[in-house]
Amino acid sequence: MSDEKNLSDDLNDMLGDAKEGAKKAADKAGEFAEEAKEKAKETFEDVKESASDFADGAKETFDNITGENKKVLAGILAILFGTIGVHKFVLGYHKEGIILLVLAVLGVFTCGLTSGIAWAVGVIEGIIYLTKSDEEFYNTYQVGQRPWF
């Protein structure tokens, strides 16, 4: 019987050791989980800040590029197709674009007189657009919404 009692005691001791080991492992896993949670929170904040900085930089770059591209695009279109007012549509001046387009169409009935006026307006505006600085063009025609010359 003594062997059985010793075996039972040994099993109980082993079971106690296993429970204690499992409790220590669970506590350690909880500590790791807390550390991982804190690290994830820090990483998320860093990523969020980086994304915000990237978005701000991209917006600033896009704003600068958009202004310059519209200047060059509007200037070239004004010189090449100013008679029909394409450059006005690019800049968002739809009413003025329609006026130039109507002048060009009326040129068919007036032996080119009105389309000549539309052509002159386009060439003059194209030269003005291309000779202005990017900032001046942007402030005058895109922010200030100045439709003519």
Domain extents in the chain: 2-143
* Residues 75-117 pLDDT 10s: 999 999 988 899 999 999 999 989 988 888 888 888 878 888 8
Rg (CA), the chain: 38
CA distance 2 to 144: 102
Q: Is 148 helix (H, G, I), strand (E, B) or coil?
A: coil
Percent of the chain with pLDDT over 70: 77
The token duo for 10 is 């040994």
**At a CB cut-off of 8 Å and minimum separation 6, what does 115 contact?**
83, 103, 104, 106, 107, 108
Q: Is the pLDDT of residue 122 over 60?
A: yes
pTM, two decimals, is 0.53
Task: Give residue 2's pLDDT.
Answer: 64
- What pLDDT score was predicted for residue 125? 93
For 85, phi and psi rounded to 5 degrees? Answer: 75, 25
CA 72 to chain CA centroid, Å, is 22
Once rounded to an integer, what is the mean pLDDT over residues 1-22? 73
Residue 74: its pLDDT value, please? Answer: 92
Q: Band of the pLDDT at 51, cuts 50, 70, 90? A: low
Cα–Cα distance, 97 to 88 (Å, whole number): 5
pLDDT at 47: 62
pLDDT band at 56 (very low <50, low <70, confident <90, very high): low
* pLDDT at residue 71 is higher than 70: yes
Residue with tokens 């068919």: 108
Residues 13-43: tens digit of each pLDDT: 777 777 887 788 788 878 887 887 788 688 6
